[in-house]
Structure 1
Amino acid sequence: MSETSITLPESLTIHQIEGHLGDLRMAFQADADTLNLEASSIEAIDTSGLQLLLALIKQAQSQNKTIQWITPSEQLTTSATKLGLTEKLMLS
């Protein structure tokens, strides 16, 4: 079983997503069974950022990859909770 770690950026808002999109897509397509998402540095995330994460996680799951969150930031968990995405993002 292989693993890869993906460090998420400090800001995943509509204004910064385009700059991170390519790198995140490539990271999520890594040839690994488990993706460890390091999310402690996320300070700003909006609906667009949550949608991006949801789409990338769903794509990884369709490829039978396991998602593991490593120290998700309070901002991430609070935003996901407010939008009812905690379970879909596998944060619970």
Structure 2
Amino acid sequence: MEMDKIDLGTRCTIVKAEELHGQMEGLIQSGNDIEIQSAGIEQIDTSALQLLLSFHQALAKDNRKLSWPNPSEQTVATAKLLGVDEYIGLSGH
């Protein structure tokens, strides 16, 4: 199966939420697994992680995978703080 990618950049906050949601909507239609590129994240907030949680759930319904090949420490720490790390596939990092 092919894999599509989303690059979260360095700041993934509510300011970027609408753009991120648009990307996710398009990728849901692709039928491919998704790789989240978050190695450069310096700041990620609750709104972004909520979107990623919904995205992960939508993909799981179609037996598709969301992978995090090299998440930044900030991404993992914030996901753990909010208690969503295991629900978005970050619990092994």
Same fold, TM-score > 0.5, yes or no? yes
1:13 is aligned to 13
Question: 1:24 & 1:10 partners in 2: Cα distance?
Answer: 18
Shift of 1:61: 0.8
Question: Which position in structure 1 is the counterpart of 2:75?
Answer: 76
Verify the 8 A CA contact 1:29 1:60 in the aligned structure 2: no
Deviations 1:5-50 (A, max 9, x none): 2222322212221233212321343221x22211112221111111
Taking structure 1 as the reference length, the TM-score comes to 0.84
Q: Which runs of 5+ in 2 are unaligned?
A: none
Measured in 1, the distance between the counterparts of 2:29 and 2:68 equals 17
Q: When you count helix as a share of all residues, which structure comes out higher?
A: 2
Question: How high is the TM-score relative to the length of structure 2?
Answer: 0.84
Cα deviation per residue 1:29-83 (whole Å; 9 max; x = unaligned)?
A: 3221x22211112221111111011001111111110121121111110000111
